[in-house]
Structure 1
Amino acid sequence: MKRTEYEWNRVSLIRNGKPWFPVMGEFHYSRYRKQDWKKELQKMKAGGIDIVASYVIWIHHEEEEGRFFVGENCDLAHFLELIQELGMLMFLRIGPWIHGEVRNGGFPDWLLKKEFTARSNDPRYFCAVEKYYRKIAGIVEKFLWKNGGPIIGIQIENEYHGIPGMCKEEQNEHMKELARIARKVGLDTPYYTATGWGDAATGGMVPVMGGYCEAPWDSRICEIEASSNYVFTRERDDGRIGTDLAIGAGCDFDSSKFPFLLAELGGGVQVTAHRRPIVSGKDIGGMSLTKIGCGANLLGYYMYHGGTNPLGKYSTMQESKETGYPNDLPILNYDFMAPLGQYGQVRESYYQIRRYGMFLKDFGEELCGMNTWLPSGNSENPEDCRTLRYAVRHNGEKGYLFINNYQRRRVRKNFGNQSISFMIGTEKVTFEGLNIADGDYGFYPFGMEVGEAVLKTALATPLCRLQNENPVYVFYSDTDPKYEWITAPKSVDQVITITDKEALYASKLILDQEYLAVAEGILCTDQKEIVWYECPEKECPKIKIYPPLQAVPQGISEVGTEGIWTVYEITAKPIEEEQRLSVAYKGESAQCFYEGKCIADDFYNGQEWEIGHLEELDIEKLEFKINPFYKKGTIFLEVPEPEENQAEIMHKTVKRVYTYRLEI
């Protein structure tokens, strides 16, 4: 079997000579328990993730100099085995400095006690890095793409600005030397990248960008400026990333020579002691839509999956002011309000992102080659809430109209009965009857090929294509889709339209053919079985499927129809029940103890605190410490502040989710 070839050009990543638009999600293996890695990776894959990204965190592996730990949750080789088994790909972010809200940015304490300065061009520092890189190379060698493994990319360093006194040339030489050392020890992959925001040095490697809906590292304790990540622009840099550690402006590379790739599009944000935002699914969905409209050709989410900081032998592992960093973070909690949370719990943002992943799998190759056009009246001011925001991606013949009327923490004007027109070559494209309320965002096709038919315009969004003997194109809309055809489809069954909510909970089932299923939770298939994770119902949960199943698995029965859908009920018993404790409290922060050991902690932000991985514990024996809320005005909250000295549990609720396995 011929090996897949990976390359890149100035527009996009390339796979086997064709443009490729993957979705990448960050999941730190050393921040999650090994026994659940496979399940969580399956959930990521079902969410549309093609590439798993992870930091290799030096202090997690080598807290003691010369003792490189690869057991338990640091078993990187096993993590890579699972990625390969599931048919996923891997991007290793090997540092040596990674930030990642880790103690010392990931550096072991012993390294910082050496006579040389870390992150400098001192040969002694490079010598220490080479030893570290060799350790990584020894573990991952057989998993590199050149050896038939899943690792297609290496990221060097993170947000590199050197040390005081370094000029830009010296910074770039530093990055080049790190890349040279990595290749020298055998870490050779098709892609070598470096973070490019904030004027960071990239050393000529492919720059990857980022963007977050909030900035909890910002030192101010107030409402900050509206995020620019919700406006359509050609600017790739989010000037707010990394401003706690370095202040940079613009980019240290010619953007015309590199594709627009996102490695740190925020799947959420991690709260800090002084800033505690709440991230919603729409925060992530609206930002993702905007970045696609701006021309991004890789969506890489940080974090896609939350986790828990390990406890070190000599110290805790979180970022803290005590270690010279600007922010204090929880000792254990690294939930990040991510699409999949600290304990694998599924969030609304998971469903929002999955819709884009489904679209990109089926239509991303063509989208990669489409340029972004911005109207002359386009406003790049995120505080401007009265100008309609839209952009067009097209290839001169066909494309998509992107509209975003969502701005986090702001109220935008409603736009009723709007008409948007623009020229594509010599042809005028017009969308009429658009009713765009505050908070709406979406994209609509024009000139789209639907099999042998050609769609002129539609007020419906393409979700996916069921690539069976007779392909079916799936769109979603809550209003009149207004399909206008240049060449109409031969069969009315070639196009189906579902509701926005159905699309939110929709996933493909790959069985004897491709099916579309709608269910809350996460459905995974591999042609041999259907596994339903995070199902909220214990008895007889239902799934809507289109078209009807040709072969009905054991443990499932047809119970009726609902429009185009056939409704099935699960009669099998769940194979797993997972308990999570939801704690509503008011205070500054909280800890949960079991038999005297702190097993979970939280910084109050107004949301209920969820605690998982309780299957082997007696919930009745959990003990809680609620730390009183101190002087008002010392923390930024998006909810009303608790009363001074308030430390109170309002209520505790046990939530249960279930896993079903249906063999084909």
Structure 2
Amino acid sequence: MSWLEPLSVRHQAWATPLRRPRMSNDEDARPGVSLTNRYLSRDGVPVIPVSGELHYSRVPRERWAERLRQMKAGGVTVVATYVFWLHHSPQRGEARFGGGLDVGAFVDLAVETGLDVVLRIGPWCHGESRNGGFPDWVQHAPVRHRTDDPAYLELVTEWFAQISAAVGDRFGKVLGIQLENELYDQPRHLVTLKRLAREAGMSAPLWTATAWGGADLPEGEVLPLYGGYGDGFWVDADAPWDPTFRDHYFFSHVWDDAGIGADVRRAQAIEAASGGPRTPSEEFPPATCELGGGMATAYHRRPRPAALDVAAIAHCKIGNGSAWQGYYMYAGGTNPGPDLHESHATGYPNDIAPLGYDFHAPIGEAGTLAPSHAELRRQHAFLSAFGHRLAEMPSSLPDIRPSDVEDTTTLRWALRSDGKSGFLFVSWHQPHFPLPVHRGARFTVSLENEVLAFPSKPIDVPPGTLARWPLNLTAGGVTVTYATASALTLLPGDIPTLVLVAEPGIDVEIAVSDRVQTVTPGLTPVRLGGLDVLVLPAETAGSLWVAEDGGRRLLLTDDELQWDAAGTLTVKASRPADVRVYDSTIGAFTEVAVPRSPAPTLQPVTVEQLRPAAPTVPVSHGKHDGRPSAPAPEAFDELAAVYRLHLPDLAADPAGDPLLRITWAGDIGELRIDGRPVTDRYWDGAVWAVNLTDAGYRPGAQVTLHLLPLAAGSPVSVPVEARARLAATDTQLLALDSVEVVTRSTHTVELP
């Protein structure tokens, strides 16, 4: 498509008047919290919350505080967590809520960190857990599960009473409660669960339920929440990239996803209730709880989403009109014991790794930050700074839109506007089938009383572009008519600073009144009357952090930053730290004084092979419902190679927060300490990181690595790079490329 074919859009006003549902207004009202059919408001100000899933029972309690700070530094404002019945109650009458299962303490800590909390109380959760989170004694009970069967409700009533007792009076701090999960055809049962939860003493301004799969939800009783994954383990190993995944790389006003949970529905003979897509109700705004922050790895299918894959979906949802950005998972973890995972042996369509639940999340199982953390935190900084405006802006789709998910020619873009100002969103990325350069783009945006045409000359849009360009944005008494660089944040000051980030390969134009100027990105601002505009180079994007607590501040570093509700800054670095903060009074970045300490260390690990792998492993270890199954534990032990890892002394020093990094190739890896499995991984080409402190390593402990080869003809699906490596072998693939220990320094610093 050339620029002669118009890229035009007309602002569309809200289709329905502003409404305030009963929820949070007349029912479970809490001062300062109010829900409308367009947005959530806090203290009278519209907000767009960002929720991230973290399972407290899959993270060591000693790490909760750090994980919550890492989430906060990523721009997350709400932590969501499943309360897995399976983890808490191995037998009837026993309810364990101590140590790493202390949900009340977790709520306290989240609130202290400055985060809201959503509890997903089930009873059925899924979350890749055995029985969907039911303890075996519940799963095997002679009841009609997930219905209003009185015998089942008796069990649920006991469970809800146990949750309520554990959380106690902290429900006054809980923002939302999710009932059940992926329940498609029983709206009255959701009402019953809500009643039982209330009777048990639970309350929250928001009651939610998942709405995908055409779920039939009780009107007005629960806020419908949607999801969006760009790939998934729940399709067959030989399945192509499904349209239900591809849809999320386009702008649309359809929020349902018929693909999520489809395999479980099929296995349980459950049909999607409505038989087709459903947009949000007129009573509630479009909100999500499961945008793919990554993807779990099943044995038969092992997607590994790139950072841009994750960010593109989230970006599209904002452009679509999202009133709530919710990620699953945002932080990975480790199952708190053996045999707690979804598996073929327990009747599920998928074999999930028994222990490791990294999910390729922005915060991995080991607590390391994935590149998606940086991609998403820029979006979240934008929502924090401009969400109060954006929330009141409906989404409008362009006049010419892609014809279907195969369309790689028509530019993907959308407008959010109140008719006077707004933001233009461009998304030109998808995995698996790369997009070409889009040539000659020029936009025409019709607002209520004017038409904006920009940029001044056509531009080429490179693949990988995720843009959010401001239109008629006023700050410091200056109105920026348009800018072809993405809005990041707005820094306060006598002269405020609008911070933009350049798109790779796109010249930056800024128009104020009738004046259009081309700006060269850099680290110093351009003064436009009463407004400074700081246009940062595209290559700085991954190093940008915006702290909202203790006063909004812009920081630039390749190191990891964390902060809490007080704005106390923690720097974690695997090299000498280099952190800079922007000083708007002088219009420049200044160095942050980080204490000097012994340089972090990277040290190779001596590897001793104790036993070679079997000379030939089976191409298949069995099937379930047509899908390849993981080998049984005894088969794994018989066939896997065993290596002893001789770790250096620094591996046992918790002050260095040591990481074990394993670069390998094969089928399944398992790490054991003194014979006890501590984590595992299905190979997908990624580097495997293990936090040695969390894994329980102590001086003198024997650490063994068990690696199973992958047969050349294996039917499992692995990412294309891994598939190429497998294809290079004639027999079976097994390689241990490197093992190393990395330490990191941690410092709390004061900002100038």
Secondary structure at 2:385 match in 1:
helix
Q: 1:91 aligns with which of 99, 115, 118?
A: 118
Give the AA of the match of 2:321: G
Following the alignment from structure 2 to structure 1, what is the Cα–Cα distance between the partners of residues 532 and 38?
Answer: 32
- Tell me the TM-score normalised to structure 2 length: 0.80
Is residue 592 of structure 2 the alignment partner of residue 542 of structure 1?
A: no
Following the alignment from structure 1 to structure 2, what is the Cα–Cα distance between the partners of residues 444 and 318?
Answer: 44
Give the AA of the match of 1:159: E
Is residue 718 of structure 2 the alignment partner of residue 628 of structure 1?
A: no
Q: Give yes or no for contact 2:489–2:498 (8 Å, CA) kept in 1.
A: yes
Q: Which moved more, 1:40-49 or 1:9-18?
A: 9-18
Following the alignment from structure 2 to structure 1, what is the Cα–Cα distance between the partners of residues 454 and 513?
Answer: 15
Secondary structure at 1:326 match in 2:
coil
The aligned runs of 1:135-214 (5 Å cut-off) are 135-145=162-172, 149=173, 151-161=174-184, 168=185, 171-204=186-219, 205-214=222-231
Q: 1:291 and 1:253, CA in 2 relative to 1: closer, same or farther beyond 3 A?
A: closer
What are the Cα deviations for residues 506-553 of structure 1, in whole angstroms up to 9, with x where unaligned? 22356875431101233234597743344221x3x2112211899xxx
What are the Cα deviations for residues 308-341 of structure 1, in whole angstroms up to 9, with x where unaligned? 01115xxx10000111111001110100000000
Task: Give the structure 1 partner of residue 556 of structure 2.
Answer: 518
What are the Cα deviations for residues 245-285 of structure 1, in whole angstroms up to 9, with x where unaligned? 12524356753332110100010000101111111110111
Following the alignment from structure 2 to structure 1, what is the Cα–Cα distance between the partners of residues 123 and 282?
Answer: 29
Is residue 293 of structure 2 the alignment partner of residue 275 of structure 1?
A: no
The aligned runs of 1:113-128 (5 Å cut-off) are 113-128=140-155
The aligned runs of 1:142-541 (5 Å cut-off) are 142-145=169-172, 149=173, 151-161=174-184, 168=185, 171-204=186-219, 205-225=222-242, 227-246=246-265, 247-248=271-272, 249-250=275-276, 255-311=281-337, 316-379=339-402, 381-432=404-455, 433-478=458-503, 479-486=506-513, 491=529, 494-509=532-547, 514-525=552-563, 530-537=568-575, 539=576, 541=577
Q: Give yes or no for contact 1:521–1:532 (8 Å, CA) kept in 2.
A: no
Following the alignment from structure 2 to structure 1, what is the Cα–Cα distance between the partners of residues 514 and 475?
Answer: 9
Following the alignment from structure 2 to structure 1, what is the Cα–Cα distance between the partners of residues 472 and 108?
Answer: 43
Following the alignment from structure 1 to structure 2, what is the Cα–Cα distance between the partners of residues 524 and 309?
Answer: 25
Give the AA of the match of 2:114: G
Q: 2:136 aligns with which of 103, 109, 115?
A: 109
Give the AA of the match of 2:309: D
Task: Give the structure 2 partner of residue 6 of structure 1.
Answer: 33
Following the alignment from structure 1 to structure 2, what is the Cα–Cα distance between the partners of residues 27 and 56?
Answer: 11
Structure 1 spans left out of the alignment, 5+ residues? 162-167, 551-562
- Tell me the TM-score normalised to structure 1 length: 0.91
The aligned runs of 1:63-102 (5 Å cut-off) are 63-102=90-129
Q: Which moved more, 1:475-484 or 1:360-369?
A: 475-484
Q: Give yes or no for contact 1:52–1:88 (8 Å, CA) kept in 2.
A: yes
Q: 1:509 and 1:636, CA in 2 relative to 1: closer, same or farther beyond 3 A?
A: closer
Following the alignment from structure 2 to structure 1, what is the Cα–Cα distance between the partners of residues 559 and 288?
Answer: 27
**How many pairs are equivalent?**
634
Aligned-pair RMSD on alpha carbons? 2.4
Secondary structure at 2:513 match in 1:
strand
Following the alignment from structure 1 to structure 2, what is the Cα–Cα distance between the partners of residues 300 and 132?
Answer: 26
Q: Give yes or no for contact 1:529–1:661 (8 Å, CA) kept in 2.
A: no
**CA deviation after TM superposition for structure 1 residue 496, in Å:** 1.3
Give the AA of the match of 1:565: F
Q: Give yes or no for contact 2:213–2:258 (8 Å, CA) kept in 1.
A: yes
Q: Give yes or no for contact 1:346–1:534 (8 Å, CA) kept in 2.
A: no
Q: Give yes or no for contact 2:256–2:279 (8 Å, CA) kept in 1.
A: no
Secondary structure at 2:263 match in 1:
coil
Is residue 81 of structure 2 the alignment partner of residue 54 of structure 1?
A: yes
Q: Which moved more, 1:61-70 or 1:493-502?
A: 493-502
Following the alignment from structure 1 to structure 2, what is the Cα–Cα distance between the partners of residues 355 and 290?
Answer: 14
Q: 1:179 and 1:425, CA in 2 relative to 1: closer, same or farther beyond 3 A?
A: same
Percent identity of the aligned residues?
30
Following the alignment from structure 1 to structure 2, what is the Cα–Cα distance between the partners of residues 101 and 88?
Answer: 25
Q: Give yes or no for contact 1:346–1:521 (8 Å, CA) kept in 2.
A: no
Give the AA of the match of 1:423: S
**CA deviation after TM superposition for structure 1 residue 239, in Å:** 1.9
Following the alignment from structure 1 to structure 2, what is the Cα–Cα distance between the partners of residues 446 and 127?
Answer: 56
Secondary structure at 1:198 match in 2:
coil
What are the Cα deviations for residues 195-215 of structure 1, in whole angstroms up to 9, with x where unaligned? 000012322311000001102
Task: Give the structure 2 partner of residue 27 of structure 1.
Answer: 54
**CA deviation after TM superposition for structure 1 residue 194, in Å:** 0.4
**CA deviation after TM superposition for structure 1 residue 583, in Å:** 1.3
Q: Give yes or no for contact 1:208–1:263 (8 Å, CA) kept in 2.
A: yes
What are the Cα deviations for residues 43-63 of structure 1, in whole angstroms up to 9, with x where unaligned? 111111111000000010001
Secondary structure at 2:398 match in 1:
coil
Q: Higher relative contact order by CA 8 Å / sep ≥ 6: 1 or 2?
A: 2
Structure 2 spans left out of the alignment, 5+ residues? 1-28, 266-270, 516-526, 599-653
Secondary structure at 2:175 match in 1:
strand
Following the alignment from structure 1 to structure 2, what is the Cα–Cα distance between the partners of residues 256 and 262?
Answer: 16
Q: 1:301 and 1:522, CA in 2 relative to 1: closer, same or farther beyond 3 A?
A: same
Task: Give the structure 2 partner of residue 570 of structure 1.
Answer: 594
Following the alignment from structure 1 to structure 2, what is the Cα–Cα distance between the partners of residues 508 and 393?
Answer: 23
Secondary structure at 2:508 match in 1:
coil
**CA deviation after TM superposition for structure 1 residue 461, in Å:** 1.3
Q: Give yes or no for contact 1:24–1:52 (8 Å, CA) kept in 2.
A: yes
Following the alignment from structure 1 to structure 2, what is the Cα–Cα distance between the partners of residues 476 and 497?
Answer: 6
Q: Give yes or no for contact 2:550–2:566 (8 Å, CA) kept in 1.
A: no
Secondary structure at 2:749 match in 1:
strand
Q: 1:202 and 1:431, CA in 2 relative to 1: closer, same or farther beyond 3 A?
A: same
Following the alignment from structure 2 to structure 1, what is the Cα–Cα distance between the partners of residues 567 and 197?
Answer: 41
Task: Give the structure 2 partner of residue 660 of structure 1.
Answer: 747
Secondary structure at 1:60 match in 2:
helix
Secondary structure at 2:64 match in 1:
helix
Following the alignment from structure 1 to structure 2, what is the Cα–Cα distance between the partners of residues 270 and 380?
Answer: 31
Give the AA of the match of 2:561: L
Q: Which moved more, 1:460-469 or 1:355-364?
A: 460-469
Q: Which moved more, 1:567-576 or 1:394-403?
A: 567-576
